[in-house]
Amino acid sequence: MSLVNNIEFLRHLPKMNAFNGLGALAPAVPTPLVETTEFGTNPGALKMFSYVPEQLARSPALVVVLHGCGQTAASYDLGAGWSTLAKHYGFALLMPEQQSANNANTCFNWFDPEDTARGQGEAASIREMVGHIAGAHKIDPRRIFVTGLSAGGAMATVMLATYPDVFAAGAIIAGLPFGVAGNLREALGAMMQGSALSAPELGDLVRKASTHKGEWPRISVWHGSADRTVHPGNADAVVRQWLDLHGLPLAAMSKADVDGHPREVWWNADGETLVESYSITDMAHGTPLGLAGNDERYGVEGAFLIEAGISSSYHIASFFGLTDKVRQPQIAPTGVPRENADTISMTIPVPADKPEPATGRSSGRPGKKQAKQQGKPRSNGVNVSRVITRALTAAGLMKQP
């Protein structure tokens, strides 16, 4: 059967995952999610599910979570544990759901121009949901985030590209960069091979998606190194796309192991992480699960929900700035995030006792002047605390003091 015939076969075959025909539609599961039927215009004909804990944090945040093909909002929430995280940390959760009438495999249509343009289709429906829940629960407009798996991850890049003024940050799990496909055939090609476009070319695809001139959202990228459904090269392409938007170099500023998996980091002159990338060693297509930094376990294993020794949901929530119960490493000063503690596998340099130049190029965010060095000048001894602080800053493990 030719590639074209295969594409048409996948397009019309019901109850099959369009990502290489993997998996079946998820069965109904018990869920704390509540459906809202009236939330504004709905040009993409999506369903709206949400969870708002009884006690929201001060300046409450909102996380939009987009499921993968063959999944429902409830099944993905059960597997990834987002409603449990929302309850623990007091943020609101929005989980749009695809309908089989729109896509027989319940994939978000991340490759369809009618659904991926600002103000149109599924992208506009999700934006309407965000506006509805944000208004109803007084969500801090500076604390709205989006994440997703697979087709949901690709749709998350759509939301970041078309509504960069809405989202402060996003996390892409086994997804694809924005704009690399305009139809199903191109989508399958991108999934199998990744994108060969340069960083500026990928960045231009996002810049053309809106008239946005302000700061770009921060982004966290996750991908299994053994993924045969969406080629891991797509993770590299997503990273290149957002490095270009932030004006950052292609070479990572820090490389370390977190819970046994490689993580690369890029930050701005203020020490704020703008782009990070996790390569989950030997993991296939799915969302990585594991014990979180607070010794809790979020989610349960299932189709495309894979035990990998690292809790992606928890680390993503931490990247979004939603977790405040983080543990400190024994050797580090107060303020080092748990995501970088205990499992770091790298050599920390000990720099000379002099101010460091700002690392990286401007990200387009309002810059701050280099902070003055703290502590007394050293005489015969070494200011150990300052050396450690500066070393961790140079490694990208904490913000500059």
Length of the chain: 401
d(CA 292, CA 322): 14
Alpha carbon 282 to its chain's center: 20
d(CA 377, CA 133): 52
**SS3 label, residue 383:** coil
Catalytic residue at 150?
yes
d(CA 334, CA 56): 26
Cα angle, residue 242 at apex, residues 149 and 121 outer, rounded to 5°: 55
d(CA 140, CA 60): 6
Q: Which helix (H) or strand (E) holds 306?
A: strand 305-307
Q: Measuring CA to CA, how many Å separate 85 from each of 13, 276, 322, 339?
A: 35, 21, 9, 16
Tokens in use for 245? 């938007």
Closest CA to 143 of 57, 221, 246: 57
The backbone region for 190, taken as left when phi is positive above 0, alpha when psi lies in -120 to 50, beta otherwise, is alpha
Q: Residue 306 phi/psi, 5° resolution?
A: -115, 130
Catalytic, out of 50, 125, 150, 311: 150
d(CA 125, CA 130): 9
Tokens in use for 45? 């004909």
Alpha carbon 75 to its chain's center: 19
Q: Are 154 and 148 in contact (CB under 8 A)?
A: yes
Closest CA to 338 of 324, 356, 352, 355: 324
By annotation, the residues acting in catalysis are: 150
